[in-house]
Structure 1
Amino acid sequence: MLSVIFACTTNLNAQNNYGGQYTRSFHDIMTTVGNRWNVRFKYNVDTVGLRLPYADFRVRPYSLEETLTNICKYFDFNWWKQNDGLYKIKPYEYPRRHTDEGARMLDYLRGLYSNRQQFEVRRDSVRLQVRRLLGIDDYKRCLVHARPVLGKVLVRDGYTTQNICIETLPGEHLFGTIYTPHPDKATQRRWRAANGTGKYALIICPDGHFAGGRYRKDEQLRLATFARMGAVCVDFDLYGWGQSEEEYGKDSHRTDRAHVIQALNAEVLLDYMWNNRKDIDHNRIGVNGGSGGGTHTVLLTVLDDRIKAAAPTVNLASHFDGGCPCESGKPIQLAGGGTCNAELISFFAPRPLQIVSDGGDWTASVPTLEYPFLQYVYGFYGARDKVENVHLPGERHDYGPNKRQANYDFFVRVFGLDKSLCDESKVTVVAPEVLQSRIAIHKVTLK
């Protein structure tokens, strides 16, 4: 009998040796956690065969989310709350953090500067480091400076479109479309009387990851409507999307090279328009993009002092740098010992800035986190009225009518565009091939 008891005790200790390497299956501990808090888990990770050392000791009876952090960090996983009853378990992502981490980052940044002088020392240092970490100047030294290939000007109702292709690096090209105002004579006279020059504002429009790329309906509606109201607008293909995909291949986009090439293309287009279009008002240069295009809107304000007004849309957060390497592949967030997109766009102060956010994506935190931080910085300049937030709590991640209207209104205010011509029903939405350059594209092999 004694030998049986000893054998059982030895076996129990082998399975539950708290002083050694007690383990429990990942599946079992997550089932226990789910039952305890009455929640479900959705997995974007492979959990087969995983075992967790000291699993039960990682449970915090007062906090489900701290418990999940303790469990997930062992496997380099992370948790994301979908709703009150569902959590998603995902691999660790370097550009994505929890909202409370964003709050702590903004508190840290506030502690670095309490006045304009301290802020500007930080701003100038971080901006230089961003350029270096992005590596854009190495690429700019290799620019071809070729004459662009311009397509036929197509006349629409109050605007024109013209495709543009520029060889940037040897054998590599950017592909875009220029939307230009085409007012009738009475409107033209009215605009000339209003600004005294007859010149147009310019808005550079980096694209995001919405289906259809820059050829989609909402992008055409937005750029054409801006043009009808008096602003020249230019968009261009994401690296590895649209015609760029034909040149680089479909796998090229999710690379850190995309991050710098997209920033480079925006600068090349701005340089071309600035130097060659005599109808552009150099005092009214803006940038506006949504989602990933919003990330590049922020980046362009950091890189180029010619920008006078900016409207990043459904992208800004202190806790999310952009989920694609084309937004966060180069380590620019390490500049200055650590920064975030909210601080990067704060460097734009005191120039006019509008942040459009919604309740259905990571920008839900803007009214309570990022916007107050921007007001704090703009306060150094006595310019809190120059930063605005249009928050749409009932909407989700898109570039829908209310988001477009918010940006129409913003650029009407800051650039004096003609709001009476804000009518999307006048826009002709065309097939993608109409907005593409008719040039021979040769496959690029990158080393």
Structure 2
Amino acid sequence: MRVLALVVVLAGFTPQGTVPADSRLGPLKDYDGSFPFEVPATKQAWETRAEAVRRQVQVATGLWPMPERTPLHAKIFGRVERPDFTVEKVAFESFPGHYVTGLLFRPKGKPGRLPAVLSPHGHEGRLWDYGKNVRKMIVDGAERFEGSGRFPQLARCATLARMGCVTFIWDMLGYADSVQIPTSTAHRMSKQRPGLDTPDRWGFFSTQAELRLQSILGVQAWNALRALDFLAGLPDVDDTRIGVTGSSGGGTQTILICALDPRPAAAFPQGMVSTSMQGGCTCENACGLRIGTGNVELTALFAPKPQGMTAANDWTKEMMTKGFPELEKLYALLGAKSAVKCVPHLHFPHNYNYVTRALM
């Protein structure tokens, strides 16, 4: 009876025929919505906000509390010699029985412990080949050479190795040597699979999985953190000088790695720092990830450590007026205004081309 009376009283605060002022009752928001970042007024206010957003990322990825870091059982094999660097195949277990695969680039003739870079790829995959299209890209100024222009993901790693950085590029789920979870599940899911959404048997993207915060984004985030463990544990790597850079889906992974782990010292999240489109693949989204926040604020969690990015003729094209000014303001608040850079290259589409690699 008391409950009924309370409902009647509360109902009286909302005039008949009107909708209560509740954000949950507003228009639905998807990844193509607006995700502005409002910089707090003080450093203390930002520290409080940043702690809350980090926890939100941990929960949304299913990584709170953080799972046990089981032995990687890493295998490094198949060495290929190049004049300035070597390339080796890698496989390790991010959790027992689940393998992460990739390529490890190491500089030649560089003694001691070296800086290192994690290089997540996007949805083109690490083996993407632009083929004959590279000739037009050279004419347009996006690339300089056919070899590196055809294979930009590998060119990035080779460039970093020539610069003296141990570099690791690993496969997103379903790409190249990662075959345990197929691309059709990890990146192309559009319909529920019969029999995989019951309380005793379910798969990714099912109601049961979402209720348990089990997602492809979470698995890829965990794979990325274990990739960081792998790279930091190499005897020739200085674990205090590790950077992260990737573009598109790899840009999303860069943002999340830097939000989840304090070890990276520098970052270049390319092609995904924007107040508009937040990630067009199912692997870039998870329940609760961007409620009340977005990619610009998630990128801001890395402040005041140095990071850079570009604006291109894609969903990042307004970054110089929507997003970057707020990042610059936050960095200034933290006493490091010059540590964040965004360079507009609006004459290029979505990319990690030669011009962008030169900025990296």
Scaled by the length of structure 2, the TM-score of the pair is 0.76
246, 260, 273: which one pairs with 2:231? Answer: 273
Corresponding residue pairs, total: 287
Other-structure match for 1:354 = 308
**Cα separation, 2, equivalents of 1:264 and 1:223:** 22
What CA deviation, in whole Å up to 9, does each residue of 1:58-78 have, x standing for no partner?
xxxxxxxxxxxxxxxxxx9xx
Q: Is the 8 A contact 2:72 2:230 kept in 1?
A: no
**Cα separation, 1, equivalents of 2:70 and 2:165:** 28
AA at the equivalent of 1:149: K
Cα offset, 1:94, TM superposition: 1.7
Q: Is the 8 A contact 2:173 2:182 kept in 1?
A: no
Cα offset, 1:398, TM superposition: 2.0
**In the superposition, relative to structure 1, how do residues 177 and 138 fare at CA in structure 2: closer, same or farther (>3 Å)?**
farther
Q: Is the 8 A contact 2:173 2:183 kept in 1?
A: no
**Cα separation, 1, equivalents of 2:298 and 2:152:** 27
AA at the equivalent of 2:302: F
AA at the equivalent of 1:394: H
Which stretches of structure 1, 4 residues or more, deviate above 6 A after TM superposition? none
AA at the equivalent of 1:240: G
Q: Which has the larger share of helix?
A: 1
CA RMSD of aligned residues (A): 1.8
Q: Is the 8 A contact 2:102 2:177 kept in 1?
A: no
Other-structure match for 1:392 = 345
Confirm or deny that 1:342 pairs with 2:296: yes
Structure 1 gap segments, 5+ residues each: 1-75, 77-91, 193-197, 408-447
Q: Is the 8 A contact 2:61 2:221 kept in 1?
A: no
Scaled by the length of structure 1, the TM-score of the pair is 0.61
AA at the equivalent of 1:320: M
**Cα separation, 2, equivalents of 1:168 and 1:317:** 30
AA at the equivalent of 2:232: W
What CA deviation, in whole Å up to 9, does each residue of 1:124-161 have, x standing for no partner?
111012101210246733x5424112212221111111
Cα offset, 1:283, TM superposition: 2.1
Q: Is the 8 A contact 1:309 1:352 kept in 2?
A: yes
124, 127, 132: which one pairs with 1:215? Answer: 127
**Cα separation, 1, equivalents of 2:72 and 2:255:** 27
Other-structure match for 1:262 = 220
Other-structure match for 1:125 = 52
Other-structure match for 1:368 = 321
**In the superposition, relative to structure 1, how do residues 285 and 146 fare at CA in structure 2: closer, same or farther (>3 Å)?**
closer
AA at the equivalent of 1:303: L
Confirm or deny that 1:154 pairs with 2:80: yes
**Cα separation, 2, equivalents of 1:307 and 1:121:** 21
AA at the equivalent of 2:122: G
AA at the equivalent of 2:325: P
Q: Is the 8 A contact 1:239 1:252 kept in 2?
A: no
**In the superposition, relative to structure 1, how do residues 330 and 154 fare at CA in structure 2: closer, same or farther (>3 Å)?**
farther
Other-structure match for 2:181 = 248
Cα offset, 1:171, TM superposition: 2.5
Cα offset, 1:199, TM superposition: 2.0
Larger RCO, structures 1/2 (Cα 8 Å, 6+ apart): 2
Cα offset, 1:273, TM superposition: 2.1
3-state secondary structure, aligned to 1:120: helix
AA at the equivalent of 2:32: R
3-state secondary structure, aligned to 2:95: coil
3-state secondary structure, aligned to 1:398: coil
91, 105, 115: which one pairs with 1:201? Answer: 115
150, 153, 158: which one pairs with 1:224? Answer: 158
Q: Is the 8 A contact 2:76 2:90 kept in 1?
A: yes
3-state secondary structure, aligned to 1:215: coil
Q: Is the 8 A contact 1:349 1:378 kept in 2?
A: yes
Confirm or deny that 1:233 pairs with 2:167: yes
What CA deviation, in whole Å up to 9, does each residue of 1:426-447 have, x standing for no partner?
xxxxxxxxxxxxxxxxxxxxxx
**Cα separation, 2, equivalents of 1:249 and 1:292:** 17
What CA deviation, in whole Å up to 9, does each residue of 1:326-362 have, x standing for no partner?
111343112xxx101101111111110101221x200
Identity of aligned residues (%): 30
AA at the equivalent of 2:106: T
Cα offset, 1:282, TM superposition: 2.1
**Cα separation, 1, equivalents of 2:63 and 2:333:** 30
Q: Kindly report which structure 2 residues correspond to 1:8-407, keeping only aligned pairs within 5 A, or say none.
A: 94-97=30-33, 101-102=34-35, 105-106=36-37, 109-110=38-39, 113-137=40-64, 140-141=67-68, 144-183=70-109, 188=110, 198-210=112-124, 213-216=125-128, 217-244=151-178, 246-254=179-187, 257-275=215-233, 277-334=234-291, 338-358=292-312, 360-407=313-360
**Cα separation, 2, equivalents of 1:132 and 1:250:** 25
Q: Is the 8 A contact 1:260 1:330 kept in 2?
A: no
Cα offset, 1:320, TM superposition: 2.1
3-state secondary structure, aligned to 2:126: helix
Cα offset, 1:201, TM superposition: 0.8
Structure 2 gap segments, 5+ residues each: 1-26, 129-150, 188-203, 206-214
AA at the equivalent of 1:209: H
3-state secondary structure, aligned to 1:363: coil
What CA deviation, in whole Å up to 9, does each residue of 1:179-226 have, x standing for no partner?
11113xxxx4xxx6xxxxx3211111111012xx11231111110110
AA at the equivalent of 1:179: F
Q: Is the 8 A contact 1:136 1:260 kept in 2?
A: yes
